[in-house]
Amino acid sequence: MMAMGRTHLSHPDQLPLDLTAEDEFERVIEARVAARCEAESVIWKFRLVAIETVMMGALVAAAGIALDQPGMMVARAAVLVAASCFASGLLLLGLSAWSARLLTRFKRWRAS
């Protein structure tokens, strides 16, 4: 019977397990994954802005057609709404990227 505080002795031929190297590898891998996810998130945000732009333009066009409005007025309104939606989406993407960089610089400044 083994005592509670006793640890298991390893075999003499077994290589020693160095966990400090694994911590370093894990930190590097996490940094790479975070950078890749951040890059992919910008692409996905742009896709969402593009989808929102098309949907808003189509919604305005459908509403204009359903209300029996003149075709040129409907087309102009749909293009205007889609363009303003796209511009505001790009502005928000740019502001979020700028604020993320600013926050990263602030964290580095506080750490040093």
Model confidence at 50: pLDDT above 70: yes
For 70-82, what is each residue's pLDDT tens digit? 999 999 999 999 9
Length of the chain: 112
Average pLDDT of the chain is 87
Domain ranges of the chain: 39-111
Looking up tokens 């990263």 gives: 104
The token pair that represents 78 in the structure block: 């749909």
Model confidence at 8: pLDDT above 80: no
Q: How confident is the model at residue 19 (pLDDT cuts 50, 70, 90)?
A: low
Give which of 82, 101, 85 is closest to 38, Cα–Cα.
101
pLDDT at 97: 86
Question: Are the C-beta atoms of residues 83 and 69 closer than 8 Å to each other?
Answer: no
Model confidence at 98: pLDDT above 70: yes
